[in-house]
Amino acid sequence: MQTWLRRKDIDRITEHEESRRLVRTLSWPHLVALGIGAIVGTGIYTLVGVAANLAGPAVLLSFLVAGVVCACAALAYAEMATMMPAAGSAYTYSYAVLGEGIAWVVGWSLILEYSLVVSAVAVGWSGSVVEFLRGLGVALPQAFVAGPHAGGLVNLPAVVIVFVVAGLLMLGTRESATLNAILVTVKVVALGVFVAIAMPHFDSANLHPFMPYGFVKSTGADGVEHGVMAAAAIIFFAFYGFDAISTAAEEAKNPGRDLSIGIVGSMVGCTLIYLLVAVAAVGAMHFTVFAQSPAPLALIMRELGQGAAAKIVAGAAVVALPTVLLAFFYGQSRIFFVMSRDGLLPHGLSKVNPRSGTPTAVTLFTAVIVAALAGVASLDEIASLANAGTLAAFTAVAVCMLVLRRRDPNRPRTFRTPAAWVVGPAAIGGCIYLFLSLKHQTQLWFLLWNAIGIVVYLVFGRRGSLLARGQHA
């Protein structure tokens, strides 16, 4: 039990040996772009159709519920990230506050989250590419644009984009962040085009019946779980990119200022973008028209007779969805990196390339894993399981914030979460409720994943831990 409770020293959490130290190259505009790039992506370009199929026009409430829970979690993240400006996000905070055992479970859950998110976004990007090319009269062979679940052999575009993004990250963090900022601008402009064209076609008749499947999760005659909360549990996938910003804490030039601006600013901006796009989508067309489409926004444009706009929206998704890939891939590589640096995963993965200042070995290792998943996986199943890992991490961060408020109330806090004893429990309760709203199969797979993780920790992690050997990372 003592093994599970050993903690990192918060006052030494940014001290690392030279060859395993990341370089501070990112300013707050890079972090805001990283957050918007992560948050605004597959969720609005593809999952809006999946979620509308589960909740009908009440998908608007699903977006709102998921957004409120994420906002509470974002405030907790902002406080913890500015207090502990080290890579690792929820894993690092848990290690310093709750102990090594809980940190391992959180880190293992983050590995699940980031790996599956990158895979899901790669699958979504592939769907956008296929749709875009089809609009230009180019049809790609089905065998190479879909996994076995969809009648193909391998989703080759998804595999290729994963390795392209990995290559960008290995070139350098600042360089990839700058390119990300440019692509984010393209993406936001394209969504503005969609709203400007779709909103004049708003028809209140498309909102009736508003809540055809009810609010709470329920299983329909087709065996599918419907309802506002069932959709919110999936849509949650569309909001939680801001935690990728906290993984960049060790590379922020002025973490005390930049991290809070990046996390809170991107969350507020993205919530407004999401609600505008969702209102425009369900108002312009009945949800049954686009609910099953892999590229619902482009489909709505075509149905409205706006073929050119459809190509712009589809083209922007092709160009800009890789920003989501880049942000989450970045976060995944940093989670692997920090757990390796702490000795809980093979220590050799945490070497930093002296030329680029990036952990190239762990980035390539991450690419192999997520590309294999993207080549054969199903988008809806991935999104749901990734949410489970995220919900665990968000819960841990809110708990860490509240524990430190009690244990160390006088520690300097550059950013203080307002009404912490309301926001913290709201984030915890909301995350637990969303977890219970996931499919039972998803919950079981998540528990199985963590059972495997505990075995890995007992066999390797607890012995390899630098704390177990009396060392500091």
Task: Tell me how far the alpha carbon of residue 24 is from its chain's centroid.
Answer: 23
Mean pLDDT for the stretch of residues 152-170? 87
User: What is the per-residue pLDDT across 414-463, written as a single tens digit (0 to 9) for each?
Assistant: 899 999 999 999 999 988 988 887 888 889 989 999 999 999 999 988 88
Instruction: Give the structural domain span for 216.
Output: 23-464
308 found inside a domain: yes
In total, how many domains does the chain have?
1
212 found inside a domain: yes
> Which residue from 362, 334, 363 is spatially nearest to 348, judged by alpha carbons?
362
User: What is the per-residue pLDDT across 289-346, written as a single tens digit (0 to 9) for each?
Assistant: 888 777 788 888 888 888 787 777 777 767 767 888 888 888 888 898 899 999 898 8
Q: Which pLDDT score is estimated for 96?
A: 94
pLDDT band at 256 (very low <50, low <70, confident <90, very high): confident
Q: Which pLDDT score is estimated for 383?
A: 63
The CATH number linked to 447 is 1.20.1740.10
Mean pLDDT for the stretch of residues 160-174? 85
pLDDT at 467 over 70: yes
386 found inside a domain: yes
User: What is the per-residue pLDDT across 1-60, written as a single tens digit (0 to 9) for each?
Assistant: 566 778 888 888 877 776 677 778 888 888 888 888 878 765 677 777 878 888 888 888
Q: Which pLDDT score is estimated for 451?
A: 95
3 found inside a domain: no
12 found inside a domain: no
Q: Which pLDDT score is estimated for 393?
A: 92
Least confident of 24-33, 350-359, 384-393: 350-359
472 found inside a domain: no
15 found inside a domain: no
Q: Which pLDDT score is estimated for 397?
A: 96
The proportion of the chain whose per-residue pLDDT surpasses 70, expressed as a percent, equals 94
Q: Which pLDDT score is estimated for 378?
A: 65
* CA distances in angstroms from 437 to 59, 363, 441, listed in the order given: 15, 33, 11
373 found inside a domain: yes
The proportion of the chain whose per-residue pLDDT surpasses 90, expressed as a percent, equals 20
CA distance 51 to 330: 27
User: What is the per-residue pLDDT across 53-79, written as a single tens digit (0 to 9) for each?
Assistant: 888 888 888 888 888 888 899 999 999
Q: Bigger pLDDT: 39 or 103? A: 103
pLDDT at 241 over 90: no
Q: What is the mean pLDDT of the chain?
A: 84
pTM of the model as a whole: 0.83
Q: Which pLDDT score is estimated for 221?
A: 64
